[in-house]
Structure 1
Amino acid sequence: MSSSPRNISVTLLGKEYVVACPAEAEEELLKAAAYLDKKMQAIRAGGRIIGSEKVAVMAALNITYELQSNLAAERAETSSRLNHLSQLIDQTLADNQ
């Protein structure tokens, strides 16, 4: 059962934001905010993108790309494992006939 939300303060590009968050998710939210801030700082440090809103959009695009790449790699690995297990099952069945 989740607890009622509480207000958590996070800082992104030096600006403080207050967000509602269940107590059990606070640690993960703070980690996510730190990761986002790190990405935003790196984009801003690159000097090619100006404005917090544009930096936030580019960070969101980069993080979404990372997520999709990781999911695709996990799907490929899962598919490979399932194919291997299927081959083992087929071989075991053939050996026992």
Structure 2
Amino acid sequence: MSNSAVDITLLGRTYSIGCPKGREEALRTVAREVENQLTTLKSRTNNLSREELAIMAALNIGNELYEEKQKNKQYMAQMDERISLLQSTLETSLVERSS
């Protein structure tokens, strides 16, 4: 799959980022979210450098990702439990019908 360049702007600086074809809109969406994080952090703390803002934004985004992964793990565990219960119920029903 070939790449294309996508221009994104973060805190007034434009970056040209290589991106797989067909994923350009996803990159733009992520860039908007990062820009929102950076802008919010900058408005709350005027004394942070670009590097510090980027680190804080990365930590915030990383925390959001971690929380979503935890929710996903819990959901998958619940689904596995429900599937097991359903399988057990079906097996019991089939055994009772064949008796």
- CA distance in structure 2 between the aligned counterparts of 1:92 and 1:7, rounded to whole angstroms: 53
- Aligned twin of 1:56: 54
- Consecutive unaligned residues in structure 1, runs of 5 or more: none
- Aligned twin of 1:40: 38
* Contact 1:49–1:55 (Cα < 8 Å) also in 2: no
Counterpart among 20, 26, 29 of residue 27 in structure 2: 29
TM-score, structure 2 normalization? 0.86
Counterpart among 10, 21, 42 of residue 8 in structure 2: 10
Percentage identity across paired residues of the two chains: 25
Task: Report which of the two structures shows the higher radius of gyration computed on alpha carbons.
Answer: 2
TM-score, structure 1 normalization? 0.88
> AA paired with 2:45?
G
Aligned-pair RMSD on alpha carbons?
1.4
- Consecutive unaligned residues in structure 2, runs of 5 or more: none
Deviates more, 1:32-41 or 1:18-27: 18-27
* Contact 1:9–1:19 (Cα < 8 Å) also in 2: yes
